[in-house]
Amino acid sequence: MKAWLAALLLAAGTAHAGFDVAVTVDDLPAHGQLPPGVTRLDVAEAHLRAFRQFGVGEAFGFVNARKAESESDPVLIAWRKAGHPLGNHAYSHMNLGRAESLAAWEADVVAGEPLVEKHMQGADWKWFRYPNLSVGDGERRDAALAFLKSRGYRVADVSLAFSDWDYTDAYARCKAAGNEAAVVAMTAHYLRGVDISIAQALAESKAVYGRTIPLVLLTHVGAFSAVTLPEVLSRLKAAGARFVPLAQAQADPAYGRFGGGSLITREARAQNTKLPARVAADVLDVKAMCAAGSR
């Protein structure tokens, strides 16, 4: 473990105590572009191997049913065969804040249900992850939450994320271009951000709650996420993570206040709590890498 990371973890009081992390994976069965020769099933199976390797007993997958190849989508079948649950991420990943109407968003939620229910075969699938973590504002926000509750949903929150979605398409482009130097650079940049984010989340948890709360990790079923996941899980374990189910993590009282975005950040705003200074990340324009006209 990097010396600076160990020092941050020690300051946060978690270097030896350990902390709980629930793993959640968005956009099943398909997220972002694929590198040449890689299939959606390859990506899913890489995730599942990493979960087995690092003892992740539950990785809750959130489904956009429109992206499924069929009702027998191989990614969803593999996910369930490995024992991991599925929840609803809205049929077309419709963002509530940008939806034409509340009714359209509600219809998108309902349209996503049959495929998830089919693959869950009577198990508890009534968890919903808001697309883009957008919960809306004012009356729309309240009405949408009431709608979800009326259908028996619990909302999957987020308290830890590494912005893996920013790298997905650039990784596919750079692999297609054979630009391995760019792949190495973006991977190093991402993993540096992972280290920073882990330490920051633990320090912020202590600042806001006076303790280390269970964390809910948001990642995506993308090709870049798949190849970096073993290292991400290794770094979490090295920092003291214990992998737990989503329901166990969100049973903590810290998850009692509903809202959009990341839990700890919004709770700090609600409490007017000053968060610890953030460690500056290296500057790298990942989204522009290997793009047309870029160098």
pLDDT in tens, 170-201: 999 999 999 999 999 999 999 999 999 999 99
Sequence letter at residue 268: A
pLDDT of residue 285 exceeding 70, the answer is yes
Query: What pLDDT digit, counting tens, does each position of 40-85 carry?
Result: 999 999 999 999 999 999 999 999 999 998 999 999 999 999 999 9
Over residues 102-129, the mean pLDDT reads 97
Q: What angle do CA 121, 126, 127 make, to 5 degrees?
A: 125
Helix (H, G, I), strand (E, B) or coil at 217: strand
pTM of the entire predicted model: 0.93
Q: How far is CA 186 from the centre of its chain?
A: 19
Q: What distance in Å separates the CA atoms of residue 295 and residue 291, rounded to the nearest whole number?
A: 8
β-strands 241-243, 127-128 pairing: unpaired
Query: What pLDDT digit, counting tens, does each position of 213-260 carry?
Result: 999 999 999 999 999 999 999 999 999 999 999 999 999 999 999 999
CB 249 within 8 A of CB 20: yes
Helix (H, G, I), strand (E, B) or coil at 215: strand
Instruction: Return the beta strands (E) in 111-214 as ranges.
Output: 127-128, 154-155, 160-161
β-strands 59-63, 86-88 pairing: parallel
H and E: helices and strands count for the chain: 11, 8
Determine the pLDDT at residue 249: 98
The DSSP element (H or E) to which 86 belongs, if any, is strand 86-88
For the CA atoms of 194, 198, 199, 200, what is the dihedral angle to 10 degrees?
Answer: 90
Selected from 3.20.20.370, 1.25.40.10, 2.60.40.3080, 3.40.350.10, the CATH number assigned to the domain covering 3-288 reads 3.20.20.370
* Averaged confidence pLDDT in the chain: 94
Domain extents in the chain: 3-288
